[in-house]
Amino acid sequence: MGYGHRLEFGITIPPVLPEGAAAFARRAEELGYDVVTFRDAPGRSLDAWTLASWVAGRTDRVRVGAHVPCATPAVLARAAASLDLLSGGRLELGLGAGEEAAALGEAIDIIRGLLDAGERGPLRFEGEHYRVRGARRGPAPERYVPVHVEAHDPPMLRLAGRKADGWVATLGRIKAGGIRAANGLLDETAREAGRDPREIRRLLNISGRFSGERGGFLDGPPGAWVEDLLPLVIEEGVGTLVLATDGAEGMERFAREVVPALREAAGRELAGAPSGPAVRPAWVRARRQPGIDYGRIPASLGENAVEPGDPAYARVRSTYLRGGAPGLVLRAGSPEQVAEALAFARSHPEVPLGIRSGGHGISGRSTNRGGIVIDLSKMDGIEVLDEASRRVRLGPGARWMDVAAALAPYGWGLSSGDYGGVGVGGLATAGGIGWLARKRGLTIDRLRAVEMVLADGSVVRAGGEENPDLFWAVRGAGANFGIVTSFEFEAYEVGEVGWGQFLVDASDTAGLLRRWGAAVEVAPRDLTSFIILGAQRPGRPAVAQVFAVVDSDRPEVVAGQLEPVARAAPVYDQSAVITPYASVMANAQGSYHEARGEPVARSGLIRHITPRFAAAAEMLLRSGAAYFFQIRSVGGAVSDVAPEATAYAGRSANFHVAAFGASPERLDAAWDAMRTHFEGTYLSFETDRRPERLREAFPPGVLERLRELKGRYDPENVFRDNFNIPPAERRQG
């Protein structure tokens, strides 16, 4: 019999040798052990929690099983979350030694309650043994922290059956023949509590002796060990064998001579048994969304999948600007996993599907309510393919500030957007209006090839030679055609740049915009400038922020080019530095998004900042309908590219304009009056889903070609959550 868990192996680190503990654990990691465990022993041995935390700091991969007493459960909960966070999700919490079942049951409830940071409101718990009176929950651990309970008697076994994620027993305190009865009790109490017995991993502490001839149980050559252990795995459902050994030799021999043979033998015997991921706990399953078949999540994605009851859910549910409550987030780590995730999503045609790289999408929804999100943040590679041609390969989940930092040592760069937290995938399939736009063009203008997963699950390359139609479409409308899993760019040389920031008087808003726009248009291409204004409030001075990058490290050039732009209005405050391009981009913190609600954004491309447009913009800001208004300079190298060369068609514009508002009705009322000034739009900053927007983003010929290609590559419109292009109807016959 089995419980569907992967067979794992652990080693107990003796808590006596401070100088050797980390080396021992590191060796266990090298030998492929899944977990190292620590247990408290009184007297001169080391404190298990301290030792486990120390070892976590000296290892990278192996999980850390800390078996500790539980004096103050609420404090232990915070410690557990902390160790899980620091170790990157490697903690297994062991409890139960020397505890009383009833008290431990309360402690587990408190620990789980505090670890459940997704639950709002403080934890209150009034027990016989412990009381918690309104403690705030959190921190949220990196992963679900499994609670393993050591149990050798019926009360503790029943507790483990009700509450534990793992049952730990020590061979010797339990006879091999007693495991079956214990399992029976565990399974029965689990079922009584509404749980699936497969929720409980069975862990067995073992010890023995390697010798030339068989002397007894776990006493003999490795083959004898395999013979002794195999029935425990196959017949008793033991999922983890944890070896206690004093010396390094036992650890080495067990890993080299017992584990591989045991895995192979168990694999053969268990070939017909159901396998797959371990079952999620009942209290997590209770929060699942209807309409998603969680039982059929592909095994390769199961471990990293996040459901509403998981601790990581709070971190992945929302994006930078949008609150969400997806039913499932699939974190794919390879093109194959992307294809599997996509196939799974396609088997749920009724639920929304979002694709997320950095989670900064505005038009690209990348979260939803009750649907599926394919998260590409794990695919964050940044790799130099060829130094001579400055060819680099980027994963969709890499963030642009990390790209800038990784390219800096080569003296290279790639203009992206203005914010370092933005992911590669969304931006590099839409356009990319960044700090070097006028000198170097859009981000997509340096794209040379992509590898992508299409709606049918096939993995294709697209570039100038291969699938050129698809490559054309990807550069401006990529989100409609598939999931790009790697981007090949040709970077260029960027060293230190001039970086100016000016706070200017915006009381004459229209005049400021006009003068700024005129100065930018005649500036050398080295200069790219963005201007930001907020809603104007009566009684407060109106201000604007002007930012500009000058692609030069010569102070006189930088000063000379910044000066006309800054002169657009009286300056309240200014700073101008010569700094690496990468440091201009290093402006984002962690990737944890907690937005709520839905952004309202409107976007347009414009050739010149005419007096009429500037006046309309002033009206918009005076109306209060927009709380954020930004104009970015494009033109220059962006306009060197022929409009038909990429699906991004707005090549004639010198400026991109975007506004954020609180109310779509109010913003539209003001914005629709401005639309006459625009020549097309950049889709990335548009949340309006009315069909006119499609015709603004893509001129008729481009749209027709895109619809044709959409009909070819995604006829069922799987990719519809980011500025959807409806596929052309297929011709009959």
Q: Could you list the residues that contact another protein (CB under 8 A)?
A: 18, 21-22, 42-47, 49-51, 53-58, 71-75, 78-79, 81-83, 85-87, 110, 114, 117, 122, 130-139, 142, 589-590, 592
674/608 Cα distance (integer angstroms): 13
Minimum Å gap between C-beta 40 and another protein is 9
The answer to whether 332 touches 341, Cβ cutoff 8 Å, is yes
The answer to whether 465 touches 480, Cβ cutoff 8 Å, is no
114/122 Cα distance (integer angstroms): 8
Torsion of CA 428, 430, 433, 435, to 10 degrees: -10
Minimum Å gap between C-beta 119 and another protein is 12
- In sequence order, what are the beta bridge partners of 631? 531, 657
Closest CB to another protein among residues 140, 453: 140
Q: Which of 571, 414, 587, 589 is nearest to 490 (CA)?
A: 414
The answer to whether 270 touches 2, Cβ cutoff 8 Å, is yes
Minimum Å gap between C-beta 38 and another protein is 11
Closest CB to another protein among residues 401, 620: 401
Closest CB to another protein among residues 75, 286: 75
Minimum Å gap between C-beta 588 and another protein is 11
Q: What are the Cα distances from residue 44, in Å, to 41, 48, 96, 98?
A: 8, 12, 21, 18
Closest CB to another protein among residues 115, 233: 115
Closest CB to another protein among residues 26, 607: 26
- In sequence order, what are the beta bridge partners of 149? 95, 167
Closest CB to another protein among residues 57, 555: 57
257/88 Cα distance (integer angstroms): 30
Buried b / exposed e across 275-300, counting CB within 10 Å, b at 16+?
Answer: eebbbbbeebbeebbeebeeeebbeb
Backbone dihedral angles phi then psi of residue 460, each to the nearest 5 degrees: -130, 160
Closest CB to another protein among residues 55, 442: 55
722/430 Cα distance (integer angstroms): 10
Minimum Å gap between C-beta 136 and another protein is 5
Q: What are the Cα distances from residue 262, in Å, to 9, 220, 223, 230, 529?
A: 10, 15, 9, 6, 64
Burial class (CB in 10 A: 0-12, 13-18, 19+), 553: middle
Closest CB to another protein among residues 121, 733: 121
Closest CB to another protein among residues 131, 180: 131
693/427 Cα distance (integer angstroms): 19
Minimum Å gap between C-beta 251 and another protein is 20
State whether residue 36 is helix, strand or coil: strand
Closest CB to another protein among residues 135, 282: 135
- In sequence order, what are the beta bridge partners of 224? none
Closest CB to another protein among residues 51, 674: 51
Closest CB to another protein among residues 2, 420: 420
Closest CB to another protein among residues 76, 332: 76
Minimum Å gap between C-beta 17 and another protein is 9
Minimum Å gap between C-beta 288 and another protein is 26
The answer to whether 550 touches 500, Cβ cutoff 8 Å, is yes
Helices (H), 364-420: 400-407
Minimum Å gap between C-beta 419 and another protein is 17
Minimum Å gap between C-beta 121 and another protein is 13
Minimum Å gap between C-beta 55 and another protein is 7
**Residue 25 has what DSSP assignment?**
H
Closest CB to another protein among residues 13, 544: 13
Minimum Å gap between C-beta 652 and another protein is 43
Ramachandran quadrant class, 690 (left: phi over 0; alpha: psi -120 to 50; beta: rest): beta
**Residue 647 has what DSSP assignment?**
S
Q: What element of type H or E holds 548? A: strand 543-550
Minimum Å gap between C-beta 574 and another protein is 17
Please name the amino acid found at residue 19.
Answer: E
Torsion of CA 337, 343, 348, 354, to 10 degrees: 50
SS3 readout for 331-373: ECCCHHHHHHHHHHHHCCCCCCEEEECCCCCCCECCCCECCEE
Tokens of 31: 């030998």
Q: What element of type H or E holds 500? A: strand 496-505
Minimum Å gap between C-beta 100 and another protein is 17
Minimum Å gap between C-beta 407 and another protein is 22
Closest CB to another protein among residues 57, 597: 57
Minimum Å gap between C-beta 86 and another protein is 5
The answer to whether 342 touches 481, Cβ cutoff 8 Å, is no
Closest CB to another protein among residues 270, 577: 577
Closest CB to another protein among residues 72, 347: 72
144/116 Cα distance (integer angstroms): 9
Buried b / exposed e across 144-175, counting CB within 10 Å, b at 16+?
Answer: bbbbbbbbeeeebbbbbbbbbbbbbbbbeebe
Q: What is the CA radius of gyration of the chain?
A: 30
Minimum Å gap between C-beta 423 and another protein is 17
